[in-house]
Amino acid sequence: MSLNQVDQRDLYRCVNCGNCRSVCPTFEQTGRESKNTRGRILIIRDVFEGKLDDVSVFDSINTCTTCGCCTAACPAGVHPPDLVEGARSGLATEGKMTPTQMKIRDTVLQYSNTLADAGPRLGWLEGTGLIPPKNPKAVYFVGCLDTYRYPETAVNTYKILNKMGVGLLSDEKCCASPLLRLGFVKEATALKNHNIDQIKKSGADTIIAGCAGCYNTLKNNYESDGVSVVTVSEYLAAHLDGLKKAGLGKLDLKITYHDPCHSGRHNNIFDEPRALIYEIVGRNNLIEMAAAREKSRCCGGGGGVRSGYGDLSLAMAKRRLEDVPKGVDYIVTTCPLCLRNLRDAGDDIPVIDLVELISMANEKKSR
C-alpha cells in the first residue's frame, strides 16, 4: 500500500502512548483496540510494511469517523484522520475497498450526489419566488443533503442570504467530500474541477457553505485561489447588523449547540454560531453540552461510518445525546449530517439547523 510522505512521517512519529484511546468515540463504544486511533495506526503500519494483507483491516480503518478528537490529544503531533484517509486511498488505489465504499463511489459518480437522487439540483428553489442576482460577490453552496433531504433548510438559508445579494451556482454538484473521505482521491477530481469551474463562472470571491462537510472540503481540498470559503454562520455573524436590520426577533428559548467536527475541531468555527444564538436567545440561554467546542463529542455520522457501520454510528449519536443539558428546548447544529444522525438517535428534544432558529426569530419580529 502506498502512502504520501506526510502520512508516512506520521506513521512512524506515533509512539504508541495511547493518549488518543480515551477520546476516540469508536473505542468508547466498542472497547476494541483495533477500533481506536493507536490500534488503527499499528494496523496501517503493518499494511504499509506488507506484513498484513487481510480484509479485516477494513473494519479498523473504515470505522474512523475522521472526527479529529485524537489529533488534539496526541503529544507527538500525529494527524490520525489524514493517515486514515491516506490508508483508505492507498488501499482503494490497489482496488481494495468494502462494498459500502464501492456503492458510495458509484452513486456519487453516477448521480453527482450522495443520495442517488436524479431530481433537479435546484428543485428546492422552485416556487419560492427567490431570484438569484447576476454577478454576485458571494454564492451559497447548498450541499447534497440540504438540496435533496432538507430542502426547507436550503430555502430558509437562501431566503436570508438572497436579501444580502448572495447568488447560487447554476450547476452545483456534490463537493466530492464522500469520495475524498473514503479514499477516492482520483475519482474526486472531475467533481472538484466542475465546481471550481462553476465558481469561476459565477465571478464570486466568497463561497458560503451550508454543510460542515462541504465547508471543510471546499476550504481544504479545493484549489480555488482567491476565493474565500466560509460557513453560513461565519457569513451571518459577519453581517449581523444587516441581519438585525432585516428583523431578528428575540426568542424565549433554552438552546444547546452541537459543534460539527468538520467545522469545529477541524476549522475552529466555534464562536460564530454561538454569537448568532446569543443574539437570539441571550447569552444565559445557550447552555453548553457536557463536551463542547474543541472537546465536542462526534455525532458518529462522518467518514462514511453512518453508511458502513449503521449500528456503531447510531450508538455514537446516542452517546452524544447524553451530553445534552436538561431543560433545553432545542439542540441546534450547523451540519445536516450531524442533524440527521442526532435525530435518528431518537431523543425527545428536537434537533434543528441554526438557520431554522434564525427563521423563527425573523418570524417573531415580523408578527
> Residue numbers of the site for ligand SF4 (CB under 6 A)?
14-20, 23-26, 37-38, 40-41, 64-70, 73-74, 76, 78, 80-81
Whole-number CA gyration radius for the chain: 20
| Choice between 16 and 220, CB closer to ligand SF4 | 16
Q: How far is the CB of 304 from ligand SF4 (least distance, A)?
A: 12
Specify the residue, 21 or 365, whose C-beta has the smaller distance to ligand SF4. Answer: 21
Q: Which is nearer to ligand SF4, 27 or 257 (CB)?
A: 27
CB of 305 to ligand SF4, least distance (A): 8
Residue 1 beta carbon to ligand SF4: minimum distance, rounded to whole angstroms? 18
Q: With 0-12 CB in 10 A as exposed, 13-18 as middle and 19+ as buried, what is 348?
A: exposed
DSSP assignment letter at 226: T
Q: Smallest distance, Å, CB 339 to ligand SF4? A: 19
CB nearer to ligand SF4: give 68 or 260: 68
Q: What is the largest CA-CA distance in the chain?
A: 68
Residue 42 beta carbon to ligand SF4: minimum distance, rounded to whole angstroms: 9
Which residue carries 467545522 as its cell?
263
**β-pair partners for 98:** none
Q: 3-state secondary structure string, the chain?
A: CCCCHHHHHHHHHCCCCCCCHHHCHHHHHHCCHHHCHHHHHHHHHHHHCCCCCCCCHHHHHHCCCCCCHHHHHCCCCCCHHHHHHHHHHHHHHCCCCCHHHHHHHHHHHHHCCCCCCCCCCCHHHCCCCCCCCCCCCEEEECCHHHHHCCHHHHHHHHHHHHHCCCEECCCCCCCCHHHHHCCCHHHHHHHHHHHHHHHHHHCCCEEEECCHHHHHHHHHCCCCCCCEEEEHHHHHHHCHHHHHHCCCCCCCCCEEECCCCCCCCCCCCCHHHHHHHHHHHCHHHECCCCCCHHHCCCCCCCCCHHHHCHHHHHHHHHHHHCCCCCCCCEEEECCHHHHHHHHHCCCCCCEEEHHHHHHHHHHHHHC
Residue 262 Cβ vs ligand SF4, minimum distance, rounded to whole Å: 11
Nearest CB to ligand SF4, comparing residues 78 and 281:
78
Nearest distance in Å: CB 207, ligand SF4: 25
Q: How far is the CB of 195 from ligand SF4 (least distance, A)?
A: 26
Looking at the Cβ atoms of 65 and 333, the one nearer to ligand SF4 is 65
Smaller CB separation from ligand SF4, 80 or 301: 80
Distance (Å, rounded) from C-alpha 269 to C-alpha 335?
12
Considering the complex, state which of residue 18 and residue 133 has its C-beta at the smaller distance from ligand SF4. Answer: 18
Provide, rounded to whole angstroms, the least separation between the CB of residue 151 and ligand SF4. 31
Nearer to ligand SF4, 25 or 167 (CB): 25
